[in-house]
Structure 1
Protein backbone atom coordinates (compact mmCIF):
# COMPACT_ATOMS: atom_id res chain seq x y z
CA UNK A 1 0.00 0.00 0.00
CA UNK A 2 1.40 3.41 -0.97
CA UNK A 3 2.26 5.94 1.70
CA UNK A 4 -0.51 8.43 2.43
CA UNK A 5 1.55 11.45 1.41
CA UNK A 6 2.91 9.88 -1.79
CA UNK A 7 1.43 11.59 -4.86
CA UNK A 8 -0.81 9.53 -7.10
CA UNK A 9 0.66 8.43 -10.41
CA UNK A 10 -1.27 11.09 -12.36
CA UNK A 11 -0.11 13.89 -10.09
CA UNK A 12 3.44 12.54 -10.20
CA UNK A 13 3.37 12.63 -14.00
CA UNK A 14 2.21 16.25 -13.94
CA UNK A 15 4.96 17.16 -11.47
CA UNK A 16 7.53 15.55 -13.75
CA UNK A 17 6.16 17.30 -16.82
CA UNK A 18 6.53 20.60 -14.97
CA UNK A 19 10.13 19.63 -14.16
CA UNK A 20 10.76 19.13 -17.88
CA UNK A 21 9.20 22.49 -18.78
CA UNK A 22 11.24 24.24 -16.10
CA UNK A 23 14.41 23.05 -17.84
CA UNK A 24 13.82 25.79 -20.42
CA UNK A 25 14.05 28.54 -17.80
CA UNK A 26 17.73 29.00 -18.65
CA UNK A 27 19.43 30.60 -21.62
CA UNK A 28 19.44 27.54 -23.89
CA UNK A 29 16.62 27.79 -26.46
CA UNK A 30 16.87 24.12 -27.49
CA UNK A 31 17.74 21.00 -25.51
CA UNK A 32 18.26 17.34 -26.38
CA UNK A 33 16.38 14.63 -24.53
CA UNK A 34 19.54 13.67 -22.63
CA UNK A 35 20.09 17.32 -21.59
CA UNK A 36 16.47 17.53 -20.47
CA UNK A 37 16.83 14.31 -18.48
CA UNK A 38 19.97 15.57 -16.76
CA UNK A 39 18.44 18.92 -15.85
CA UNK A 40 15.15 17.40 -14.69
CA UNK A 41 16.86 14.61 -12.78
CA UNK A 42 14.75 11.98 -14.56
CA UNK A 43 15.53 8.83 -16.57
CA UNK A 44 15.97 9.44 -20.28
CA UNK A 45 13.07 7.10 -21.14
CA UNK A 46 10.72 8.95 -18.77
CA UNK A 47 11.89 12.32 -20.07
CA UNK A 48 11.35 11.23 -23.67
CA UNK A 49 7.82 10.07 -22.91
CA UNK A 50 6.96 13.31 -21.11
CA UNK A 51 8.55 15.49 -23.80
CA UNK A 52 6.58 13.73 -26.52
CA UNK A 53 3.35 14.27 -24.58
CA UNK A 54 4.23 17.97 -24.24
CA UNK A 55 4.90 18.15 -27.97
CA UNK A 56 1.47 16.66 -28.68
CA UNK A 57 -0.03 19.26 -26.36
CA UNK A 58 1.76 22.11 -28.13
CA UNK A 59 3.75 23.12 -25.06
CA UNK A 60 7.02 21.96 -26.63
CA UNK A 61 8.21 21.64 -30.22
CA UNK A 62 10.77 19.22 -31.63
CA UNK A 63 13.14 20.17 -34.42
CA UNK A 64 12.79 17.35 -36.99
CA UNK A 65 16.36 17.84 -38.21
CA UNK A 66 18.06 17.67 -34.79
CA UNK A 67 15.41 16.06 -32.54
CA UNK A 68 16.07 18.84 -30.03
CA UNK A 69 13.19 20.35 -28.06
CA UNK A 70 12.18 23.99 -27.61
CA UNK A 71 9.27 25.89 -26.06
CA UNK A 72 6.13 25.57 -28.17
CA UNK A 73 3.67 28.20 -29.31
CA UNK A 74 1.03 26.68 -27.05
CA UNK A 75 3.00 27.68 -23.97
CA UNK A 76 3.22 31.27 -25.23
CA UNK A 77 -0.55 31.26 -25.74
CA UNK A 78 -1.12 30.03 -22.19
CA UNK A 79 1.24 32.72 -20.87
CA UNK A 80 -0.63 35.54 -22.60
CA UNK A 81 -3.23 36.10 -19.80
CA UNK A 82 -0.44 36.36 -17.22
CA UNK A 83 1.47 38.85 -19.37
CA UNK A 84 -1.73 40.85 -19.80
CA UNK A 85 -2.31 40.90 -16.02
CA UNK A 86 1.20 42.29 -15.57
CA UNK A 87 0.35 45.03 -18.02
CA UNK A 88 3.19 44.04 -20.33
CA UNK A 89 1.12 44.62 -23.47
CA UNK A 90 1.02 48.31 -22.56
CA UNK A 91 4.53 48.38 -21.14
CA UNK A 92 6.29 46.77 -24.11
CA UNK A 93 6.31 49.82 -26.47
CA UNK A 94 8.05 51.92 -23.82
CA UNK A 95 10.66 49.22 -23.21
CA UNK A 96 11.39 48.77 -26.91
CA UNK A 97 11.71 52.53 -27.30
CA UNK A 98 14.21 52.64 -24.44
CA UNK A 99 16.17 49.68 -25.82
CA UNK A 100 16.37 51.34 -29.24
CA UNK A 101 17.42 54.63 -27.70
CA UNK A 102 20.23 53.29 -25.52
CA UNK A 103 21.05 50.34 -27.83
CA UNK A 104 21.01 47.84 -24.97
CA UNK A 105 18.52 45.11 -24.08
CA UNK A 106 16.07 46.21 -21.37
CA UNK A 107 14.69 43.68 -18.88
CA UNK A 108 11.87 43.83 -16.35
CA UNK A 109 11.96 41.63 -13.25
CA UNK A 110 9.65 40.98 -10.31
CA UNK A 111 10.13 39.37 -6.91
CA UNK A 112 9.55 35.64 -6.60
CA UNK A 113 10.35 34.40 -3.11
CA UNK A 114 14.08 35.12 -2.68
CA UNK A 115 14.79 35.73 -6.34
CA UNK A 116 14.25 38.37 -8.98
CA UNK A 117 12.64 36.75 -12.02
CA UNK A 118 12.77 38.27 -15.50
CA UNK A 119 9.29 38.54 -17.01
CA UNK A 120 10.02 40.59 -20.13
CA UNK A 121 12.92 41.62 -22.34
CA UNK A 122 13.11 44.20 -25.12
CA UNK A 123 16.08 43.88 -27.45
CA UNK A 124 17.48 46.79 -29.47
CA UNK A 125 17.42 46.69 -33.28
CA UNK A 126 21.21 47.15 -33.34
CA UNK A 127 24.22 46.49 -31.11
CA UNK A 128 22.66 43.41 -29.51
CA UNK A 129 24.94 40.72 -28.07
CA UNK A 130 24.47 37.83 -25.66
CA UNK A 131 26.16 39.79 -22.84
CA UNK A 132 22.98 41.87 -22.63
CA UNK A 133 20.76 38.94 -21.60
CA UNK A 134 20.53 38.43 -17.82
CA UNK A 135 19.92 35.12 -16.14
CA UNK A 136 16.16 34.48 -15.97
CA UNK A 137 16.30 34.03 -12.19
CA UNK A 138 18.71 36.08 -10.06
CA UNK A 139 19.42 36.31 -6.36
CA UNK A 140 17.89 39.29 -4.59
CA UNK A 141 20.95 39.48 -2.34
CA UNK A 142 23.77 39.53 -4.87
CA UNK A 143 22.58 41.23 -8.07
CA UNK A 144 21.84 44.76 -9.24
CA UNK A 145 18.22 43.86 -9.95
CA UNK A 146 17.83 42.39 -6.47
CA UNK A 147 19.49 45.37 -4.83
CA UNK A 148 17.18 47.80 -6.65
CA UNK A 149 14.30 45.96 -4.96
CA UNK A 150 15.87 45.32 -1.56
CA UNK A 151 17.06 48.89 -1.11
CA UNK A 152 13.43 49.96 -0.83
CA UNK A 153 12.23 47.04 1.26
CA UNK A 154 10.96 47.74 4.80
CA UNK A 155 13.00 44.73 5.93
CA UNK A 156 16.23 46.26 4.61
CA UNK A 157 17.72 42.79 4.06
CA UNK A 158 21.50 42.58 4.36
CA UNK A 159 23.28 42.50 1.01
CA UNK A 160 26.82 42.70 -0.28
CA UNK A 161 26.49 46.39 -1.11
CA UNK A 162 25.50 49.46 0.86
CA UNK A 163 21.76 49.58 0.24
CA UNK A 164 21.58 53.10 1.66
CA UNK A 165 23.86 54.16 -1.18
CA UNK A 166 21.51 52.52 -3.69
CA UNK A 167 18.66 54.52 -2.15
CA UNK A 168 20.74 57.68 -2.26
CA UNK A 169 21.81 57.47 -5.92
CA UNK A 170 18.57 55.83 -7.10
CA UNK A 171 20.01 52.86 -8.94
CA UNK A 172 22.01 49.69 -8.33
CA UNK A 173 25.18 48.64 -10.11
CA UNK A 174 26.88 45.27 -10.31
CA UNK A 175 30.11 44.10 -11.93
CA UNK A 176 29.74 40.51 -13.10
CA UNK A 177 33.19 38.96 -13.17
CA UNK A 178 33.59 36.84 -16.28
CA UNK A 179 36.30 36.48 -18.91
CA UNK A 180 34.75 39.58 -20.46
CA UNK A 181 33.35 41.48 -17.42
CA UNK A 182 29.74 42.66 -17.57
CA UNK A 183 28.20 45.70 -15.91
CA UNK A 184 24.54 45.54 -14.80
CA UNK A 185 22.36 48.48 -13.78
CA UNK A 186 18.86 48.46 -12.28
CA UNK A 187 16.27 51.01 -11.16
CA UNK A 188 13.03 50.35 -9.24
CA UNK A 189 9.60 50.52 -10.85
CA UNK A 190 7.48 52.46 -8.37
CA UNK A 191 3.70 52.08 -8.58
CA UNK A 192 0.90 54.60 -8.01
CA UNK A 193 0.91 54.00 -4.25
CA UNK A 194 4.68 54.42 -3.98
CA UNK A 195 5.21 50.69 -3.81
CA UNK A 196 8.09 49.10 -5.70
CA UNK A 197 6.51 46.65 -8.11
CA UNK A 198 9.58 45.51 -9.96
CA UNK A 199 12.91 46.55 -11.40
CA UNK A 200 14.04 47.73 -14.82
CA UNK A 201 17.57 46.60 -15.70
CA UNK A 202 20.21 46.65 -18.41
CA UNK A 203 23.58 44.99 -18.73
CA UNK A 204 26.43 45.02 -21.23
CA UNK A 205 30.17 44.53 -21.45
CA UNK A 206 31.74 46.80 -18.85
CA UNK A 207 34.19 48.00 -21.49
CA UNK A 208 31.18 49.48 -23.28
CA UNK A 209 28.97 50.36 -20.29
CA UNK A 210 31.54 52.71 -18.78
CA UNK A 211 30.98 55.67 -16.46
CA UNK A 212 30.17 58.02 -19.34
CA UNK A 213 27.51 55.72 -20.78
CA UNK A 214 26.11 55.01 -17.31
CA UNK A 215 25.55 58.75 -16.81
CA UNK A 216 23.55 58.79 -20.04
CA UNK A 217 21.68 55.50 -19.57
CA UNK A 218 20.47 55.80 -15.97
CA UNK A 219 18.34 58.95 -16.49
CA UNK A 220 16.70 57.30 -19.51
CA UNK A 221 15.99 54.20 -17.41
CA UNK A 222 14.42 56.31 -14.66
CA UNK A 223 12.18 58.10 -17.14
CA UNK A 224 11.07 54.80 -18.67
CA UNK A 225 10.43 53.29 -15.22
CA UNK A 226 8.24 56.26 -14.37
CA UNK A 227 6.27 55.90 -17.59
CA UNK A 228 5.58 52.19 -17.21
CA UNK A 229 4.88 52.22 -13.46
CA UNK A 230 1.16 53.13 -13.78
CA UNK A 231 0.76 50.38 -16.40
CA UNK A 232 2.64 47.67 -14.58
CA UNK A 233 0.82 45.31 -12.24
CA UNK A 234 2.26 42.58 -10.03
CA UNK A 235 0.48 39.73 -8.30
CA UNK A 236 3.00 38.91 -5.60
CA UNK A 237 6.16 39.95 -3.84
CA UNK A 238 6.68 42.30 -0.96
CA UNK A 239 4.96 45.66 -0.69
CA UNK A 240 7.32 48.57 -0.31
CA UNK A 241 5.88 51.49 1.64
CA UNK A 242 6.01 55.18 0.78
CA UNK A 243 8.08 55.89 3.90
CA UNK A 244 10.65 53.35 2.87
CA UNK A 245 10.86 54.74 -0.66
CA UNK A 246 11.55 58.35 0.25
CA UNK A 247 15.10 59.40 -0.51
CA UNK A 248 17.31 60.69 2.24
Structure 2
Protein backbone atom coordinates (compact mmCIF):
# COMPACT_ATOMS: atom_id res chain seq x y z
CA UNK A 1 0.00 0.00 0.00
CA UNK A 2 1.38 3.38 -1.01
CA UNK A 3 0.96 6.33 1.33
CA UNK A 4 1.40 9.93 0.21
CA UNK A 5 3.93 12.13 1.99
CA UNK A 6 1.19 14.45 3.28
CA UNK A 7 -0.86 11.55 4.66
CA UNK A 8 2.26 10.02 6.20
CA UNK A 9 3.09 13.27 7.98
CA UNK A 10 -0.48 13.47 9.30
CA UNK A 11 -0.26 9.93 10.67
CA UNK A 12 3.06 10.71 12.36
CA UNK A 13 1.59 13.90 13.84
CA UNK A 14 -1.41 11.97 15.21
CA UNK A 15 0.90 9.37 16.79
CA UNK A 16 3.04 12.10 18.40
CA UNK A 17 -0.03 13.89 19.76
CA UNK A 18 -1.46 10.62 21.08
CA UNK A 19 1.74 9.77 22.93
CA UNK A 20 1.90 13.33 24.27
CA UNK A 21 -1.61 13.02 25.70
CA UNK A 22 -0.75 9.66 27.27
CA UNK A 23 2.41 11.17 28.74
CA UNK A 24 0.50 14.15 30.16
CA UNK A 25 -2.05 11.83 31.77
CA UNK A 26 0.74 9.88 33.43
CA UNK A 27 2.27 13.13 34.67
CA UNK A 28 -0.92 14.10 36.47
CA UNK A 29 -0.36 13.30 40.15
CA UNK A 30 -3.45 15.13 41.39
CA UNK A 31 -6.31 13.03 42.69
CA UNK A 32 -8.74 15.93 43.07
CA UNK A 33 -9.05 19.43 41.62
CA UNK A 34 -11.35 22.04 43.15
CA UNK A 35 -12.13 25.16 41.14
CA UNK A 36 -13.95 28.04 42.86
CA UNK A 37 -15.48 30.79 40.72
CA UNK A 38 -18.08 33.54 40.85
CA UNK A 39 -21.29 32.14 39.43
CA UNK A 40 -23.20 33.51 36.45
CA UNK A 41 -26.94 32.78 36.88
CA UNK A 42 -28.57 31.46 33.69
CA UNK A 43 -31.68 29.94 35.19
CA UNK A 44 -33.27 28.85 38.40
CA UNK A 45 -30.59 27.14 40.47
CA UNK A 46 -28.14 27.08 37.53
CA UNK A 47 -24.79 28.87 37.68
CA UNK A 48 -22.19 28.98 34.96
CA UNK A 49 -18.56 29.50 35.93
CA UNK A 50 -17.51 33.15 35.94
CA UNK A 51 -14.30 34.78 37.13
CA UNK A 52 -12.07 32.27 38.89
CA UNK A 53 -11.53 32.80 42.63
CA UNK A 54 -9.01 30.02 43.12
CA UNK A 55 -8.04 26.43 42.41
CA UNK A 56 -6.85 23.72 44.79
CA UNK A 57 -5.00 20.63 43.57
CA UNK A 58 -4.74 17.63 45.92
CA UNK A 59 -1.98 15.13 45.21
CA UNK A 60 -2.82 11.46 44.85
CA UNK A 61 -1.75 8.91 47.48
CA UNK A 62 -1.00 5.20 47.26
CA UNK A 63 -0.44 2.33 49.67
CA UNK A 64 3.32 2.56 49.09
CA UNK A 65 5.44 4.90 51.17
CA UNK A 66 8.14 5.55 48.57
CA UNK A 67 5.92 6.94 45.78
CA UNK A 68 2.81 7.71 47.79
CA UNK A 69 3.24 11.44 48.62
CA UNK A 70 3.35 10.70 52.35
CA UNK A 71 5.23 12.39 55.21
CA UNK A 72 7.14 10.21 57.68
CA UNK A 73 8.22 11.73 60.99
CA UNK A 74 11.12 10.84 63.27
CA UNK A 75 12.46 12.20 66.54
CA UNK A 76 10.40 12.50 69.72
CA UNK A 77 8.71 9.23 70.67
CA UNK A 78 6.45 6.81 68.79
CA UNK A 79 2.89 5.67 69.41
CA UNK A 80 1.24 2.81 67.57
CA UNK A 81 -1.74 3.65 65.38
CA UNK A 82 -4.33 1.29 63.87
CA UNK A 83 -4.33 0.32 60.22
CA UNK A 84 -6.03 3.09 58.26
CA UNK A 85 -7.89 2.25 55.05
CA UNK A 86 -9.15 5.06 52.82
CA UNK A 87 -11.98 4.40 50.39
CA UNK A 88 -13.59 6.68 47.82
CA UNK A 89 -16.54 6.12 45.53
CA UNK A 90 -18.26 8.75 43.43
CA UNK A 91 -18.48 10.53 40.07
CA UNK A 92 -15.57 11.91 38.04
CA UNK A 93 -17.04 15.40 37.90
CA UNK A 94 -19.43 17.43 40.05
CA UNK A 95 -20.48 21.10 39.90
CA UNK A 96 -22.30 22.68 42.83
CA UNK A 97 -23.65 26.18 43.55
CA UNK A 98 -22.91 27.75 46.93
CA UNK A 99 -24.13 31.27 47.82
CA UNK A 100 -23.52 32.75 44.39
CA UNK A 101 -20.33 30.81 43.81
CA UNK A 102 -19.70 27.72 41.71
CA UNK A 103 -17.46 24.85 42.79
CA UNK A 104 -16.25 22.44 40.11
CA UNK A 105 -14.84 19.19 41.48
CA UNK A 106 -12.82 16.88 39.24
CA UNK A 107 -11.49 13.47 40.29
CA UNK A 108 -9.16 10.96 38.64
CA UNK A 109 -11.04 7.90 39.87
CA UNK A 110 -14.63 6.82 40.29
CA UNK A 111 -13.46 4.53 43.08
CA UNK A 112 -10.23 3.88 44.91
CA UNK A 113 -9.01 2.08 48.04
CA UNK A 114 -5.60 2.62 49.58
CA UNK A 115 -3.89 2.04 52.91
CA UNK A 116 -1.88 4.43 55.07
CA UNK A 117 1.59 2.81 54.90
CA UNK A 118 2.89 4.00 58.31
CA UNK A 119 1.92 2.15 61.52
CA UNK A 120 3.31 4.64 64.07
CA UNK A 121 3.08 8.37 64.69
CA UNK A 122 5.56 10.62 66.46
CA UNK A 123 4.82 12.81 69.48
CA UNK A 124 7.11 15.55 70.75
CA UNK A 125 8.01 17.55 73.83
CA UNK A 126 9.01 21.20 73.92
CA UNK A 127 12.62 21.49 72.80
CA UNK A 128 12.58 18.34 70.65
CA UNK A 129 13.78 18.31 67.06
CA UNK A 130 11.41 17.07 64.38
CA UNK A 131 12.71 15.33 61.28
CA UNK A 132 10.17 14.96 58.49
CA UNK A 133 10.72 13.18 55.17
CA UNK A 134 8.35 13.83 52.29
CA UNK A 135 8.24 10.80 49.99
CA UNK A 136 6.86 12.36 46.83
CA UNK A 137 6.10 10.86 43.46
CA UNK A 138 9.14 10.71 41.17
CA UNK A 139 7.13 12.89 38.77
CA UNK A 140 7.91 15.76 41.18
CA UNK A 141 11.68 15.31 40.89
CA UNK A 142 13.62 18.57 40.90
CA UNK A 143 10.63 20.75 41.76
CA UNK A 144 10.81 23.52 44.35
CA UNK A 145 8.06 23.42 46.96
CA UNK A 146 7.53 24.78 50.46
CA UNK A 147 7.23 23.17 53.89
CA UNK A 148 5.11 25.12 56.39
CA UNK A 149 4.48 24.43 60.06
CA UNK A 150 1.13 25.90 61.13
CA UNK A 151 -0.34 25.93 64.62
CA UNK A 152 -4.01 24.96 64.47
CA UNK A 153 -6.42 22.65 66.28
CA UNK A 154 -7.68 19.70 64.17
CA UNK A 155 -11.34 20.66 64.71
CA UNK A 156 -10.66 24.14 63.36
CA UNK A 157 -9.28 22.63 60.15
CA UNK A 158 -12.58 20.80 59.66
CA UNK A 159 -14.50 24.05 60.13
CA UNK A 160 -12.36 25.80 57.50
CA UNK A 161 -12.92 22.96 55.03
CA UNK A 162 -16.68 23.13 55.62
CA UNK A 163 -16.60 26.89 55.01
CA UNK A 164 -14.96 26.30 51.63
CA UNK A 165 -17.26 23.46 50.56
CA UNK A 166 -20.52 24.81 52.02
CA UNK A 167 -20.11 28.47 51.03
CA UNK A 168 -17.37 28.51 48.40
CA UNK A 169 -15.28 30.71 50.69
CA UNK A 170 -11.55 29.88 50.54
CA UNK A 171 -10.35 33.04 52.32
CA UNK A 172 -10.16 31.32 55.77
CA UNK A 173 -8.20 28.49 54.14
CA UNK A 174 -5.68 30.92 52.65
CA UNK A 175 -5.38 32.79 55.95
CA UNK A 176 -4.69 29.52 57.75
CA UNK A 177 -1.77 28.79 55.42
CA UNK A 178 -0.36 32.25 56.17
CA UNK A 179 -0.20 31.62 59.94
CA UNK A 180 3.26 30.12 59.68
CA UNK A 181 5.28 29.13 62.75
CA UNK A 182 8.20 27.84 60.67
CA UNK A 183 8.76 27.40 56.95
CA UNK A 184 11.41 26.40 54.46
CA UNK A 185 11.64 26.35 50.68
CA UNK A 186 13.03 23.00 49.54
CA UNK A 187 14.07 21.34 46.29
CA UNK A 188 13.01 17.73 45.75
CA UNK A 189 15.69 15.22 44.80
CA UNK A 190 15.74 12.85 41.81
CA UNK A 191 13.10 10.60 43.38
CA UNK A 192 10.80 13.46 44.44
CA UNK A 193 11.81 13.26 48.12
CA UNK A 194 13.18 15.69 50.69
CA UNK A 195 13.97 15.70 54.44
CA UNK A 196 13.72 18.68 56.76
CA UNK A 197 14.54 19.26 60.43
CA UNK A 198 13.31 21.89 62.87
CA UNK A 199 12.86 22.49 66.59
CA UNK A 200 9.50 22.81 68.36
CA UNK A 201 9.54 25.44 71.10
CA UNK A 202 5.92 25.60 72.23
CA UNK A 203 3.19 23.15 73.17
CA UNK A 204 0.21 22.83 70.89
CA UNK A 205 -1.34 21.21 67.83
CA UNK A 206 0.33 21.78 64.47
CA UNK A 207 0.12 20.64 60.88
CA UNK A 208 3.17 20.31 58.66
CA UNK A 209 2.22 21.02 55.05
CA UNK A 210 4.17 20.38 51.86
CA UNK A 211 2.73 22.69 49.22
CA UNK A 212 3.19 25.23 46.46
CA UNK A 213 1.25 28.43 45.78
CA UNK A 214 0.72 30.54 42.66
CA UNK A 215 -1.08 33.88 42.71
CA UNK A 216 -1.11 34.95 39.05
CA UNK A 217 -3.46 35.17 37.17
CA UNK A 218 -5.48 33.76 40.08
CA UNK A 219 -4.78 31.81 43.25
CA UNK A 220 -3.64 28.20 42.87
CA UNK A 221 -2.69 25.85 45.70
CA UNK A 222 -0.90 22.56 45.08
CA UNK A 223 -1.24 20.48 48.25
CA UNK A 224 1.13 17.51 48.15
CA UNK A 225 0.86 16.20 51.70
CA UNK A 226 0.44 17.11 55.35
CA UNK A 227 0.73 15.48 58.74
CA UNK A 228 -0.29 16.33 62.30
CA UNK A 229 2.31 17.25 64.91
CA UNK A 230 1.50 17.25 68.63
CA UNK A 231 3.87 18.98 71.05
CA UNK A 232 3.41 18.10 74.73
CA UNK A 233 4.51 20.13 77.71
CA UNK A 234 5.64 17.34 80.02
CA UNK A 235 6.40 13.65 79.98
CA UNK A 236 4.45 11.27 82.19
CA UNK A 237 6.47 8.36 83.58
CA UNK A 238 4.46 5.41 84.89
CA UNK A 239 6.00 2.62 86.98
CA UNK A 240 3.59 -0.31 87.40
CA UNK A 241 3.85 -4.11 87.67
CA UNK A 242 3.47 -6.20 84.52
CA UNK A 243 1.33 -8.87 86.22
CA UNK A 244 -1.33 -8.93 88.94
CA UNK A 245 -3.98 -11.27 90.32
CA UNK A 246 -7.59 -10.40 91.09
CA UNK A 247 -7.74 -8.92 94.58
CA UNK A 248 -4.10 -7.78 94.65
CA UNK A 249 -3.24 -4.23 95.60
CA UNK A 250 -1.25 -2.60 92.82
CA UNK A 251 1.43 -0.04 93.56
CA UNK A 252 1.60 2.45 90.68
CA UNK A 253 4.06 5.32 90.71
CA UNK A 254 3.47 8.25 88.38
CA UNK A 255 5.86 11.15 87.89
CA UNK A 256 5.64 14.18 85.64
CA UNK A 257 8.98 14.97 84.04
CA UNK A 258 9.71 18.69 83.61
CA UNK A 259 6.44 19.51 85.38
CA UNK A 260 5.85 21.93 88.22
CA UNK A 261 5.78 20.34 91.69
CA UNK A 262 2.34 19.64 93.15
CA UNK A 263 1.50 19.10 96.83
CA UNK A 264 -2.00 17.76 96.20
CA UNK A 265 -1.47 15.79 92.99
CA UNK A 266 -2.35 16.51 89.38
CA UNK A 267 -5.77 14.84 89.26
TM-score by length of 1: 0.27
TM-score by length of 2: 0.26
Comparing both chains, which one has the higher relative contact order based on Cα–Cα distances under 8 Å and sequence gaps of 6 or more?
2
Query: Which structure is larger by alpha-carbon Rg, 1 or 2?
Result: 2
